[in-house]
Every structure is written in C-alpha cells, then in structure tokens.
Structure 1
Amino acid sequence: MKRIIIVFFLLFIIIYSGTIYYHMKKPLPEGMSAEGVTHYVEDVKLLTDITYKNKQNKRVVQHETFETMLKEIQHAEKFIVVDMFLFNKDTNEDQVYPPLVEKFTEELLKKKKENPSVNIVLLTDKINTIYDSYPSEELNDLKQNGVKVIETNVKQLRDSNPLYSAFWRMFGQWGKTKGNGHLPNLLAKSGDKVSILSYLELLNVKANHRKLLITENAAIISSGNIHNASGYHSNVAFRVRGNIINDLLESEESAARLNEQINLPRIPQQAETNTNIKIQLLTEGKIGKHVIEEIRKTDKKDSIWIGILYLADRNVMDEIKAAAGRCVHIYLLLDPNQNSFGNKKSGLPNIPVVAELRKSKEANYIDIKWYNTGKEQYHPKIMLIERETVDTIISGSANFTRRNLYDFNLETDIKITANKETKVVNETKSYFQRLWTNDGAVYTKDADAQSELPLFRYIIYRLQRLLWFTTY
C-alpha cells in the first residue's frame, strides 16, 4: 500500500511539473507577439489624461484621451473596434467617479442607431463580470443593439502564475460559473457577489490587458481603461493614422480568434513617403524585446525618461543600472502603488524597486520622483529615449513587469522613432518636463519620501518575485 501511495505521489508530481512546464513554454496562438513593419507617418499626436493639484491645492482632472475617443466614434462611418481591459462601472459604495463607461456605451449605441451599417466590435476581459459571476449591464446593452462583444478567452495564453495555474488547469477549470456568487467582490465593494470558481480562475492573473480604439480614420493606443473607478487616473495615449491601422486590426483579429473565427475590416492601403516619423506595432513579448534593446543601445550622450505604474521586471532594471553605469541620465516618474480604485495598497512593487535603485552604485545617474497621487493612480506606460538627433518613444498598455513584457498577457504598444524637432517628440518631452518640474501645479514629489518598505512587506515582495505569485 505504501509503495502504491509513493507511486501515485511521484506520478502526480510528474504530471503537475509537466503541466507547469508546458503551459509556461507552449506555442503562442497565431498572431500573438507581433512585431509590425515600420511605417512612415506624418500625423501622430500625444494625448494626456492628468489628475493633479493646482497651486490652490485643488484637484484638477483632464480627460483628453477619453474625449478624443468619443470624437473618433462620432466621426466613424464604416467600423469601430475597441479593445479594453477594464470596462465596467463597479465602484466602492462611498466613492464617486466619472461615468466613463455609461458615456462611452451611450456613444457607441448612438452611433449604431444613427448608422446601423457601421461594424462595431468590442473586445474585453472577463474580469468585468469577474469570470461569469454576474452579468454586465453595459455589455448586454451593446450585444442587444448589434455590437459584437467578445470576452477574450485567455486560457490559450501561457501561464504567468505557474505553481497555482497548474492546479487550476488540472482541477479548477472544469467547473462552470454562471452567476450564483456568494463571496464579496474584492475589486469593488458595491459590485455583485462572486463565486468561488470565479476566484479560482481570477488567481491565474492573466488578462487581455490591451487598451485601444480603432476606426477607419484613426487609432488610439492608450494606457488607460474605460472604467469608472479609473476615472481619475493619469494616463497617456497616442493617436495615429495611416497603414498601421491595418496592423492593429490584424492583431485584434488574432485576439478575437481566441474565441471564434472572425474577420475584421481593413482600410485601403495608402502610399507612404519618407517622413521624420516612423511607427511600429509591438505586442506581447516583442514589447519587452524592444524596451530592453533600446535601453541597451544608449550611451552617455543620451537620456531615458520612464513614466509608469509598475516597474518590476528584473531584466529592465538590470538594463537601467547598466545604462546608468555608462553615464546615461535616467529619469523615473513612478506611481507609489499605495492606492488602487480607492483601496489602499502595500507599495509593491515600486517602493522596494526604488529603494534598490537608490542604493545601487549607479544611483548618481538615476533620478526618481513619485507622482503626487491622491485616490487615483499614475497609470501611464511610456518610455522616451533622447538621443543626439533621433528619439524613440515606446508606449501603450504594457507595464514594465514580467507578466506584461514576456508573452503572458495580451498587450499592445507602439514604437515611435522621430527626429528631435518633430511635434510628437516635443509634446512628449514637454509632458515629462511639465510633471518633473511641477510647472504650474504640484504633480510630483521627491523619492526620498515613501522609499522604504516595512520588513514584513519586503519579505512578501521577495517571495512574490521568487514564486511569481503577483498581481503586477
């Protein structure tokens, strides 16, 4: 009997280990981890959503990205494709947020009513119904009025939380969740109840994390969600035109085909002439590849600006230190990770990361500031590298974390390469300088504040890094 138990135990370990290995290394679905061709364009515009305190200590909210998205919906006549990670109005009961989801839904429904032939597709993540625990009023309204809604099937993606995900794949995924939740909604206290099976799926921590809008006229690649509880977050986005729209549509078609066969429209191919601006689509792991390559290519004549919600990837941090070792000036503008949708957070990962960088031997070339957040987050994911003549911008949905940069989540970024005198480069540099110097308002504060972590939380941080069991 004892031998039988040992055999079964060893067999279980083999199967469990094999499940971990396969789902970490398995082939990606077709169309994932895309590295688009380089396009020459003339029209790229930086859009910013900024929440800040003015000189009178009053909080000011600007929603340039959201308002531009609404205008692009109004101007569309042929198709609208939206891919949005968070698309819900769930909030804590004691908090009031801008009704972004209601306005956006209303604009889509209005467009469909005015022009029934317009093809509207919305891709999103199952987090918005906490994995089928309850229905979404907005998604149902869109479906009932002719909008194609796809809650992306991310099971085909690789596992970023392998020790747990192997258990879920072997035992948890076979249960069916359709309502009947009894557990509290940890993402929004006023949200509907959640089932235990939904929580088991949620713990895989994988997502369609993309945030973009595409029409026949333009595309907006953003760091921000259409999500009420995110309504005060600071974000950045870029509006682009031209042939890259077809690259984005092809990428979105691949994401949609994780659920079903679907053909998204295309725009007529346009002639391109050499301009001072080049643009390229990057998704999933190709984002990490280009971020690391661009930092690695810097020398002492260059500067690196990074504005981001999460900085945690070890490879990126090593390249930042190596660049500082080459006398590259580095400016990091980070969220202190102490608030999320009105809920308090532990300061992970940015506080221990900042402490590490400030104690490193390369610290003299690394300047760090916290964004002066209230109940919102500093939510961009943007890097600007200044060189002698040609600068590089990488921006979109991907934080600088393992989950976002290495083929685990669905992510969409763009890479812009442009001469220093171009408008988009000047806009991006001005954006960073405005926040860094507190020009006209109190945007940022020195990293000397909030740069230490209690020992217990630091131990948790190290365990999370070791076991890969994180939400960032």
Structure 2
Amino acid sequence: MWPWGVAVLLLAWAAMGAWQRCKPLPEGVGQAWPERPAAQVRLLVDETWYDAQGQQHRRQAIFDEMLTMIEQARRLVVLDVFLFNDFAGATEGKEFRPLSGELAEALIAQQRRHPTLEAVVVTDPLNTFYGSLAPEHFARLRAAGVRVVITDLNRLRASNPLWSGLWHLGPRWLGNRSDGGWLPNALGPGRVTLRSYLALLNFNANHRKTLVVDHGDDWAGLVTSANPHDASSLHGNVALRFAGPAARDLLVSERWVAAWGGVKLSGPSSPEASPVEGGGPRLQLVTEGAIREALLAAIGRAGRGERLNIAVFYLSHRGLIEALVAARRRGVRVRVLLDPNQEAFGLKKGGIPNRPVADELVAAGIEVRWCLTRGEQCHGKLLLRHPVATDGEAEMILGSANFTRRNLDNLNLETSVRLVGAPDTPVIMEAMAFFRRRWDATPACASSEPYVAGHAVRGWQVLRYRIMEATGLSTF
C-alpha cells in the first residue's frame, strides 16, 4: 500500500501548496487608499558617500525624526518594522549605531512619562528567529507596558509554495520554544531550533516600515525603507514624513495587522470618506499589490522626453522590467541606480538579482549605475517621474517595497506612499536633488560608479535569477 500512501501525500502537498499560493488575501492587504492633501510632507534621507581619500561620510535623518515623533506622542504610537534587533551576522564586532536600543528606550521612556499612552510595536518573527529566541529589548518593552505583536505570517499567501505546502501539512503545527535551540543562529548570537529554520524557508515577511503617532489633535505618519537594525545603520534609505488624512489612513492600515496578534488599536477605524479636493500636491497610501499597480501606472504615464529615475535595492519583477523597457522604446529617458548585491552583513553575494537585470536593462538602452558600497547597502526604494512640460505633474513613490515579485505580488506585507504634484513642489525637488547627488558622483563625493559591460554575469546566473524570481526560492 505504500505507493498509494506516497501518492496521497504528494497530492496533499501539491493541493496545500496551491491553496496557500492562491488563498484569499486577509482583510486590508493590497489596498490603494484615496489621494489626500499632502500636509506637512518632508523627505528624509540617510546617505553615505566617500571623498577622494576614501574616507566615508554619512548624513542621517530618518531615525532622528522617528525618535522626535515618539517623544511628542501622548495618546498613541504604532510602530511596524521588519528588522528590530542587533543581529550583526558576519559583521560581529564592527561599530554600528545602536538603532534597536535607541528606539526601544525611546518607547519605554515615553510610556513611563505618559502612563496612559498606548504604545504598540508590530514586527516580523525573524526578530525572534521564528520563536527560538526571546530578545531582551522585547522583554523590556513588554515590562514597560508596550505591546509587542509578532506578525502571524501564516495568514499571508505562500511566497515559496513548493515548501509551504509541506510546511502547512506538518512542521507548522509543531511547538517551538526560546530555550530549546541547538543549531547556530546564522544571523547573530544564540542557538535556534530546527523548526525555526523550517519556518524561515517560507521566505515571506512583514516587511513594512512605518510609524504613526498622535500629533496634537491630528495624526503624523512616517513611511520608510529603513529598519531599526543595528547592522543596517549605515545603509542608504529614504522616508516620507506627513500629517493629516494620509496619516489617518496609515493608522487604519495598521489596525488589521495588529488585530492578527489580538491587539485592537484605538483611534479611527475607517478612512475618511471624502478624497482630496482642489489643486496642490496629493499623497496616497498604497500597500502590497497596490504598490505594484502604482509603479506600473507611473511608468506607463511617462511619455516621450520625460524622465524616470529609479534607485532601488532589488529590481527583479518581470512586469516592471518589461514596463521600463517599453518606456525606453517610446522615448522616455530611464535611469536606474542599483545596489550591486555583492555583500550582506559581511557575507559575499553573487550579484543576484541586480546584475543580470542590469545587463538586460542596458541592452535595451536604459542607463544604469551602481551604488558605491563598502559594506553598507543602497537600501532605498524610490521611483521618480519628471514631466517635460513645466505645467505637468511629477510623481514620487517610496516606501518599504523592493521591486520584486515577493514585495509587490501580495506575498509580503509592504507599505509605500505616492506623492503627485507640480515639478517645483519642494519635497519632489528635494527627491530629485537626492537622486542627482547619487547619480552624478565626483571624486570628492563618490556615491555611485558606472556600469561596466565586462562585469556581465554568466548565462547560468541569469537562469538562476529567473528561477528564483518565478518560484520564490530566494531571499529577494
């Protein structure tokens, strides 16, 4: 009878994998919110560059602003971040800014100053290595009255259905414990369990990076590509800080994810009914698959003579790549600034996916440059569309989502914002200036370097990238 048993198991595996890949999305996932008036909008950047002597220079603003926002909160703080730890990987011993500790201490101090403050942290289970570790800063947050929600990723669709079909049939239901690890932690100190490594193979995440706080009688929000992760403190990142109805939308978007962990947030439970009226810059919150649609629409709107500028950590989504190639063919000037994908926390990488993608883009006539990195990452996720006519509208999209299948096809939790306005809108001009600084590198301010055809990847690496992107058997 064993052949029948094997056949039943394989059928159950395939059926569960298909269901997990196609099951209905949880409520609130993949939302495009109404356009809102862009109130109190500020662009924040973290950037690193090198002078003619090779000395590293840094300018950082994102987490300083987050600490300020937390310090002025009185009623509610909701922080949703992917990496919130001091894991250093192979860079153990190097000096980093202790972002995780700074943010945790700011939340604890504000909770103690204002005992009625409702402070909630939503984060990814990777920070506990999927249940194998009990981070000390999480214990201190909870002891101070801050609620810490570990996102239930099983609610999401499967990014790697080949494995997730089997995961949901068996290993998912096994217990885990934070003091039972016997395997080395690949990300940092401590020992972890085999079950945690099996959970890791699902390759999905709550990848959001947001903060929303009360601000007097109003709300203030921040959406970024930056993680409060010590070993990420030198990375280049971008953020948008804003207030008003869009910040209210951000809070509503977080209610659903917090509810997965049994936490009911106070404040508004539904978005405002009326969209923006009149002229002026407009701001729109987009999550998960709606980010993909916003990116594709922005690229599709670019006409002959217009400019598309992209600076992104990962670019591999086939739909976006095809849209960029099509834009170049109809006369759009497309410039793409990419991380070389050569190093991650001290570990060498093979340049996938960005190097094979860069070859494809250059072959289509698209300009490509590499971020100049020496251990840090070009971690931002930014698209800028600039019109030809001065009376046209410019567009900017930034946030947590890399331009990959996992980040854009409703597999991870992601949050980005879309800003539309006149080309001389101050925050759009600042974003354009930021991109030019990164693109137009000089010996005195080296931040990027040219694409070199001799560094092209081999055919098997292109095939590897295509398989990894299509199947989900990857970390990008």
Q: Which category of TM-score, normalised to the shorter sequence, fits these structures?
A: over 0.9
Q: Name the counterpart of 1:367.
A: 367
TM-score, with length taken from structure 1:
0.94
Distance (Å, rounded) in 1 between the aligned partners of 2:38 and 2:95: 40
Q: Name the counterpart of 2:6.
A: 9
- How far off is 1:249 after superposition? 0.8
Q: Structure 1 stretch 235-244 or stretch 264-273: which is displaced more?
A: 264-273
Query: Does structure 1 conserve the Cα–Cα contact (< 8 Å) formed by 2:48 and 2:234?
Result: yes
Q: Name the counterpart of 1:391.
A: 394
- How far off is 1:466 after superposition? 4.5
Q: Name the counterpart of 1:469.
A: 473
1:19 to 9, 16, 19: 16
Q: Which amino acid aligns with 1:367?
A: E
Q: Which amino acid aligns with 1:406?
A: D
Q: Name the counterpart of 1:187.
A: 187
Q: Which amino acid aligns with 1:430?
A: A
Q: Name the counterpart of 1:424.
A: 427
Other structure's SS at 2:77 match = strand
Q: Which amino acid aligns with 2:172?
A: Q
1:405 to 405, 408, 412: 408
- How far off is 1:246 after superposition? 1.4
Q: Name the counterpart of 2:291.
A: 287
TM-score, with length taken from structure 2:
0.93
**Deviation digits for residues 8-44 of structure 1, max 9, x if unmatched?**
3332332222111111111111111111011012421
2:27 to 30, 33, 51: 30
Correspondence list, 1:312-391, <5 A? 312-359=316-363, 362-363=364-365, 366-387=366-387, 388=389, 389-391=392-394
Query: Does structure 2 conserve the Cα–Cα contact (< 8 Å) formed by 1:150 and 1:259?
Result: yes
Whether 1:133 and 2:129 are equivalent positions in the alignment is no
- How far off is 1:402 after superposition? 0.4
Query: Does structure 2 conserve the Cα–Cα contact (< 8 Å) formed by 1:80 and 1:119?
Result: yes
Distance (Å, rounded) in 2 between the aligned partners of 1:6 and 1:107: 60
2:204 to 186, 206, 228: 206
**Deviation digits for residues 289-326 of structure 1, max 9, x if unmatched?**
11112212221131111110000000100101111111
Query: Does structure 2 conserve the Cα–Cα contact (< 8 Å) formed by 1:307 and 1:381?
Result: yes
Distance (Å, rounded) in 2 between the aligned partners of 1:269 and 1:463: 43
Query: Does structure 2 conserve the Cα–Cα contact (< 8 Å) formed by 1:391 and 1:417?
Result: yes
Other structure's SS at 2:159 match = coil
Between the two proteins, what is the percent identity of the paired residues?
A: 33
Other structure's SS at 1:90 match = coil
Q: Which amino acid aligns with 2:415?
A: T
| Counterparts in 2 of 1:101 and 1:465: CA distance versus 1, 3 Å | closer
- How far off is 1:96 after superposition? 2.1
**Deviation digits for residues 95-132 of structure 1, max 9, x if unmatched?**
22111111111111111111111111110001011011
Q: Name the counterpart of 1:438.
A: 441
Other structure's SS at 2:191 match = coil
Whether 1:47 and 2:50 are equivalent positions in the alignment is no
- How far off is 1:269 after superposition? 6.9
Distance (Å, rounded) in 2 between the aligned partners of 1:310 and 1:410: 16
Query: Does structure 1 conserve the Cα–Cα contact (< 8 Å) formed by 2:45 and 2:237?
Result: yes
Query: Does structure 2 conserve the Cα–Cα contact (< 8 Å) formed by 1:154 and 1:258?
Result: no
Q: Name the counterpart of 2:239.
A: 237
- How far off is 1:167 after superposition? 1.2
Q: Which amino acid aligns with 1:317?
A: I
Query: Does structure 2 conserve the Cα–Cα contact (< 8 Å) formed by 1:352 and 1:451?
Result: no
Other structure's SS at 1:442 match = coil
- How far off is 1:449 after superposition? 6.7
Distance (Å, rounded) in 2 between the aligned partners of 1:277 and 1:377: 31
Other structure's SS at 2:331 match = coil
Other structure's SS at 1:257 match = helix
Q: Which amino acid aligns with 1:354?
A: A
Distance (Å, rounded) in 2 between the aligned partners of 1:391 and 1:100: 33
Whether 1:221 and 2:226 are equivalent positions in the alignment is no
| Counterparts in 2 of 1:106 and 1:270: CA distance versus 1, 3 Å | farther
Query: Does structure 1 conserve the Cα–Cα contact (< 8 Å) formed by 2:203 and 2:472?
Result: no
Distance (Å, rounded) in 1 between the aligned partners of 2:129 and 2:42: 34
- How far off is 1:88 after superposition? 0.2
Query: Does structure 1 conserve the Cα–Cα contact (< 8 Å) formed by 2:283 and 2:417?
Result: yes
**Deviation digits for residues 340-366 of structure 1, max 9, x if unmatched?**
12222121100111112222xx31xx1
- How far off is 1:183 after superposition? 1.4
1:61 to 31, 45, 58: 58
**Deviation digits for residues 50-96 of structure 1, max 9, x if unmatched?**
11112332111222001111111111122111001000012143322
Q: Which amino acid aligns with 1:233?
A: H
Distance (Å, rounded) in 1 between the aligned partners of 2:323 and 2:227: 29
Unaligned runs of at least 5 residues, structure 2: none
Query: Does structure 2 conserve the Cα–Cα contact (< 8 Å) formed by 1:307 and 1:333?
Result: yes
Other structure's SS at 2:108 match = helix
Distance (Å, rounded) in 2 between the aligned partners of 1:449 and 1:108: 49
How many residues align structurally?
463
| Counterparts in 2 of 1:379 and 1:8: CA distance versus 1, 3 Å | same
Q: Name the counterpart of 2:307.
A: 303
| Counterparts in 2 of 1:292 and 1:270: CA distance versus 1, 3 Å | closer
Query: Does structure 2 conserve the Cα–Cα contact (< 8 Å) formed by 1:49 and 1:235?
Result: yes
Q: Which amino acid aligns with 1:219?
A: G
Q: Name the counterpart of 2:75.
A: 78
Distance (Å, rounded) in 2 between the aligned partners of 1:450 and 1:107: 48
Distance (Å, rounded) in 2 between the aligned partners of 1:72 and 1:220: 9
Other structure's SS at 2:395 match = strand
Other structure's SS at 2:53 match = coil
Q: Which amino acid aligns with 1:393?
A: M
**Deviation digits for residues 397-442 of structure 1, max 9, x if unmatched?**
0000000001100000011111111101101111111111126510
Distance (Å, rounded) in 2 between the aligned partners of 1:280 and 1:164: 35
Other structure's SS at 2:115 match = coil
Query: Does structure 2 conserve the Cα–Cα contact (< 8 Å) formed by 1:82 and 1:122?
Result: yes
Q: Name the counterpart of 2:104.
A: 105
